[in-house]
């Protein structure tokens, strides 16, 4: 009879722990949706964190930052 009680307690704890783990998983912050931006020079779409920002404009590469600078002058 004692074994049955122990099994019941173990099962009860198992269910509680499982629920807690599920809650922890579901409350994890969602992966930040990566914003796409367009290169001001060639129009290529790139991720904002990979883009080079200059004067509130985004560029796919340093070359296009330079190219845009030259085209403005
Ligand atoms: Zn570009």
Ranges of H-type helices in the chain: 2-26, 62-72
Cα–ligand 1 centroid distance for 27 (angstroms): 38
Residue 32: what pLDDT? 62
User: Mind listing the pLDDT tens digit for each residue in 5-38?
Assistant: 999 999 999 999 999 999 887 776 666 678 899 9
Euclidean distance between CA atoms 34 and 47, whole angstroms? 6
- Distance (angstroms) between ligand 1 centre and the Cα of 34 equals 18
Q: CA angle 62-64-70, nearest 5°?
A: 110
Q: Are 45 and 36 spatial neighbours (Cβ–Cβ below 8 Å)?
A: yes
Helix and strand counts by DSSP (H, E) for the chain: 2, 4
pLDDT tens profile 26-70: 776 666 678 899 999 999 999 999 999 998 999 999 999 999 999
């Amino acid at each position: 009879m004692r074994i049955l009680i122990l099994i019941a307690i173990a099962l009860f704890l198992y269910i509680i722990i499982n629920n807690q783990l599920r809650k922890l998983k579901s409350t994890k912050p969602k992966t930040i949706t990566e914003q796409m931006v367009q290169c001001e020079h060639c129009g290529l779409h790139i991720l904002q964190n990979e883009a080079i920002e200059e004067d509130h404009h985004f560029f796919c590469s340093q070359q296009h930052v330079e190219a845009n600078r030259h085209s403005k002058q």
